[in-house]
């Protein structure tokens, strides 16, 4: 049997993996992200020449770098059949085969995440040794079926169930499984389990293989939560085909320009750690801590096309965020600045700040005033698992659309002090606190893990909710 090597390229903030598969001196690249320099570095290091660039599906959570990589590498670009595309590519369907340096890659139609979705089975000497499953089979879960709209959700959920059975019946059980999604991606129906697996292990442990079709469909759909609004732009961008990226720094923004952009309703995004932002920041700027999952929530909350100016402690923070942004199709910020808030402030956009606190401090404040205004910014599934008694629930991704409601709530409760804002870890609470702070609402940022709330003495309310497959497909 020929030797093969799989190199995984993780994109943690989007929860995805791309793969470079070396067979002999050739390589196959599967589901590459937009910043293809990471792929090219692996090819150069190992002396591989890319023969094929494969897409398991037209992605909903990121803009693919596949077309540009294929052009630069002189590789064949391979996409699932049945989609309207604006570029030349080889479209493949079920049972098609590709050859790479003695290996055979078999195409397996696995609809469910999308109608045209395919998996790629790497076969050496008549045995499947690896299965690249994209958004179909994930570790302990499956790709969500609802991204193309409610009319297709149930049909795709049923297709996903059937695709799992086909994988179980047709793929060599010892084949290693390599999903694209499922490492934090909202393309996963639920949280995934583990970082490596085989087909046989998934058959034994993944609920998708163990429940009846109707139960699978009902509980899978019941367990779905919201997904980022920017997904609406990813599929069309991938069907058009994305070109090269420019990661050079944009124009430097002066303090006066920063103030003007804030006043104009543009987004001035402070990338520094959230504790630095809380201590001092330019009023009206927004905290998207680049040391957390800033890109997902920025893309989710932004009105698409709004100009963005990036503020960082140094150029490395700015360029890290630029790399994250191109992955979701936001190619060029309009400006940037580095340093501290003192460097960026002006008379019309002065330095301000707010308090950070723990759940223990919140518990003490509640003990002093049980009508304290508390805002929970977690998603619906998290809230359903338990929340601080008395908290108002507004998922972060809904906050901008409900600002009138939240402002009125804050005004009504202003006699009880600032609004205490929490989430699961403190990261999303920082974003929400910065947004409300910019509107003149007094806030306290609870920068603490929600797991610490009950031990701190806070009363946690646990609503009774219907059974979801999420009991096995953990949220």
Assign residue 232 the CATH number of its domain: 3.60.15.10
> What's the pLDDT band for 83 if we cut at 50, 70, 90?
confident
Query: Is 36 part of any domain?
Result: yes
Query: Is 188's pLDDT higher than 90?
Result: no
Return d(Cα 161, Cα 188) in angstroms, integer: 14
For position 2, what pLDDT does the model report?
Answer: 61
Same domain, 26 and 162: yes
- The last residue of a domain, from among 333, 352, 371: 352
Token pair 């990226």: residue: 245
Residue (of 18, 109, 99) closest to 52 by Cα position: 99
Residue 245 lies in a domain: no
Predicted local confidence at residue 1, as pLDDT: 44
Same domain, 165 and 292: no
> Within 378-439, where are the H helices?
380-384, 403-412, 427-438
% of the chain beyond a pLDDT of 90: 92
Task: Tell me which residue range forms the domain holding 313.
Answer: 255-352
Of the residues 187, 211, 240, the one at which a domain ends: 240
pTM of the model: 0.94
**pLDDT confidence of 37, banded at 50, 70, 90?**
very high
Report pLDDT digits (tens) over 235-282: 999 999 999 999 999 999 999 999 999 999 999 999 999 999 999 999
Answer yes or no: do 326 and 288 share one domain. Answer: yes
The per-residue b/e assignment along 245-261, b for 16 or more CB within 10 angstroms, e otherwise, is beeeebeebebebbbbb
pLDDT at 466: 47
pLDDT range class, residue 471, cuts 50, 70, 90: very low
Q: Does residue 51 surpass a pLDDT of 60? A: yes
- Per residue in 331-365, pLDDT (tens digit) is 999 999 999 999 999 999 999 999 999 999 999 99
User: 146: Cβ–Cβ under 8 A, 6 or more apart, which residues?
Assistant: 152, 153, 156, 221, 224, 227
Per DSSP, which regions of 135-175 are E strands?
Answer: 137-138, 141-142
Report residue 185's pLDDT band, with 50, 70 and 90 as the boundaries.
confident
Same domain as 303, residue 262: yes
The mean of the pLDDT values for the chain is 95
Taking only the tens place, the pLDDT of each residue in 429-455 is 999 999 999 999 999 999 999 999 999
pLDDT confidence of 469, banded at 50, 70, 90?
Answer: very low
Mean of pLDDT values over 157-162: 98
Work out the number of other CB atoms within 10 angstroms of the CB of residue 240: 14
CA distance 326 to 248: 12
C-beta separation of 60 from 83 below 8 A: no
* Residues 100, 170 within the same domain: yes
One domain, residues 90 and 44: yes
pLDDT tens digits, residue range 203-232? 999 999 999 999 999 999 998 999 999 999
Token pair, residue 5, equals: 């090597």
How high is the pLDDT of residue 473? 27
The structure tokens listed for 130 are 């690896």
CATH number at residue 456: 3.40.250.10
User: Is 249 inside a domain boundary?
Assistant: no
- Kindly indicate the confidence band of residue 465, based on its pLDDT and cuts at 50, 70 and 90: low
Total structural domains within the chain: 3
């Amino acid at each position: 049997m020929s030797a093969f090597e799989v190199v995984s390229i993780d994109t943690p903030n989007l929860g995805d993996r791309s793969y470079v598969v070396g067979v002999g001196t050739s390589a196959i690249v599967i589901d590459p992200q937009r910043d293809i320099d990471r792929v090219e570095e692996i090819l150069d290091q190992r002396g591989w020449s890319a023969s094929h660039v494969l897409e398991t599906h037209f992605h909903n959570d990121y803009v693919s770098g596949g077309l540009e990589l294929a052009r630069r590498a002189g590789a064949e670009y391979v996409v699932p059949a049945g989609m309207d595309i604006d570029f030349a590519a080889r479209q493949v369907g079920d049972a098609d085969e590709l050859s790479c340096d003695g290996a055979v890659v078999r195409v397996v139609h696995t609809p469910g995440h999308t109608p045209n979705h395919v998996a790629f089975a790497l076969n050496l000497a008549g045995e499947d040794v690896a299965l690249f499953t994209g958004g179909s089979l994930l570790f302990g879960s499956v790709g969500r079926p609802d991204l193309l709209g409610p009319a297709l959700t149930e049909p795709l959920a049923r297709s996903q169930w059937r695709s799992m059975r086909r994988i179980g019946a047709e793929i060599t059980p010892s084949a290693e499984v390599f999903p694209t999604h499922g490492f934090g991606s909202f393309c996963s129906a639920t949280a995934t389990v583990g970082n490596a697996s085989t087909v046989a292990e998934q058959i034994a442990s993944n609920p998708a293989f163990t429940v009846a079709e109707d139960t699978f469909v009902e509980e899978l759909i019941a367990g779905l939560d919201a997904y980022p609004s920017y997904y609406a732009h990813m599929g069309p961008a991938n069907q058009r085909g994305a070109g090269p990226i420019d990661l050079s720094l944009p124009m430097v923004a002066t303090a006066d320009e920063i103030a003007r952009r804030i006043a104009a309703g543009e987004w001035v995004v402070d990338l520094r750690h959230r504790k630095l932002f809380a201590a001092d920041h330019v009023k009206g700027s927004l905290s998207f801590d680049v040391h957390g999952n800033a890109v997902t929530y920025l893309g989710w909350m932004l009105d698409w096309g709004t100009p963005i100016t990036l503020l960082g402690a140094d150029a490395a923070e700015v360029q890290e965020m630029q790399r994250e942004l191109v992955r979701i199709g936001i190619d060029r910020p309009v400006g940037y600045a580095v340093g501290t808030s003192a460097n960026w402030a002006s008379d019309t956009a002065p330095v301000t700040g707010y308090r950070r606190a723990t759940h223990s401090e919140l518990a003490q404040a509640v003990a002093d005033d049980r009508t304290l205004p508390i805002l929970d910014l977690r998603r619906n599934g998290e809230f359903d698992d338990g929340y601080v008694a008395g908290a108002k629930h507004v998922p972060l991704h809904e906050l901008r659309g409900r600002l009138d409601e939240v402002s009125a709530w804050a005004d009504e409760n202003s006699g009880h002090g600032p609004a205490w804002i929490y989430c699961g870890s403190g990261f999303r609470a920082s974003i929400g606190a910065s947004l409300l702070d910019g509107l003149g609402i007094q806030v306290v940022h609870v920068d603490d893990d929600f797991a610490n709330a009950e031990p701190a003495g806070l009363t946690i309310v646990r609503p009774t909710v219907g059974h979801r497959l999420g009991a096995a497909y953990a949220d």
